Chains A and B, each alone.
Chain A
Amino acid sequence: MNLLSFLSFLILAITLLTMVFGVIAYFLYKARERKKSTDDLTYEEAMEKEHSELLFFTRS
Chain B
Amino acid sequence: MQVIQKIFFILFMLGGLILTYYSVNSLEQIYINTSNIFIHFGVILIFVFTLIIIIRYLLLMFFSILQTIRRSADEDDVIHTSQTVSVIVPCYNEQEVILHSLKSIINQTYKNIEILVIDDGSKDRTYALAKVFEFDDGLRSLKVLSKPNGGKSRALNYGIERARGSLICCVDADSKLDPVAIELLVQHFRDPQIAAVAGSVSVVNTNSFLTKLQSLEYIQGLNMVKNGQAFLKLVNIIPGPLGMFRKDAIQQVGYYSHDTFAEDCDLTLSLLAQGYKIDFEPDAMAHTEAPENLLDLLKQRYRWTRGILQAIKKKKHYLWHPRRNPSISFVMWYMLFESVFWPFMQVWGDLFMIYLALSTGASQLLLFWWIMFTVLDVAGAIYCLLLTKEKLSLAAYSTLYRLIFITVINIAKIFATIEEWFNIEMGWGKLERKGRIG
Digitize B373-416: 1 where CB-to-A-CB distance is under 8 Å, 0 elsewhere. Answer: 00000000000000000000000000000011001101110010
- The answer to whether B412 and A15 have CB atoms under 8 Å apart is no
Complex CA–CA separation, A25 to B407 (angstroms) = 12
Binds A, one of B34-42, B277-285, B292-300: B292-300
From the candidates A4, A15, A25, A37, name the one contacting B403 in the complex (CB within 8 A): A15
From the candidates B350, B357, B410, B427, name the one contacting A37 in the complex (CB within 8 A): B427
From the candidates B353, B367, B411, name the one contacting A26 in the complex (CB within 8 A): B411
- The answer to whether B370 and A21 have CB atoms under 8 Å apart is no
| Given A11-B366, A33-B299: 14 more A-B contacts, CB < 8 Å | A4-B364, A11-B370, A12-B366, A15-B350, A15-B354, A15-B366, A15-B407, A18-B408, A19-B407, A19-B411, A22-B408, A25-B408, A26-B412, A33-B427
* Any A CB within 8 A of the CB of B204: no
From the candidates B294, B351, B353, B366, name the one contacting A25 in the complex (CB within 8 A): B294
* Any A CB within 8 A of the CB of B347: yes
> Which A residues are CB-close (under 8 A) to B404?
14, 18
* Any B CB within 8 A of the CB of A52: no
> Which B residues are CB-close (under 8 A) to A22?
407-408, 410-412
18 contacts between A and B (CB under 8 A): A12-B353, A12-B366, A18-B408, A19-B347, A19-B407, A19-B411, A21-B408, A22-B407, A22-B410, A22-B412, A25-B294, A25-B298, A25-B408, A25-B411, A26-B412, A29-B298, A32-B295, A33-B427
Complex CA–CA separation, A33 to B428 (angstroms) = 11
B414: min CB distance to chain A, Å: 9
* Any B CB within 8 A of the CB of A5: yes
* Any B CB within 8 A of the CB of A47: no
Digitize A24-40: 1 where CB-to-B-CB distance is under 8 Å, 0 elsewhere. Answer: 01101100110001000
* Any B CB within 8 A of the CB of A54: no
> Which B residues are CB-close (under 8 A) to A28?
295
From the candidates A4, A18, A29, A32, name the one contacting B407 in the complex (CB within 8 A): A18
> Which B residues are CB-close (under 8 A) to A21?
408
- The answer to whether B415 and A12 have CB atoms under 8 Å apart is no
- The answer to whether A29 and B299 have CB atoms under 8 Å apart is yes
From the candidates B363, B407, B427, B429, name the one contacting A12 in the complex (CB within 8 A): B363
> Which A residues are CB-close (under 8 A) to B429?
33
A46: min CB distance to chain B, Å: 15
B154: min CB distance to chain A, Å: 19
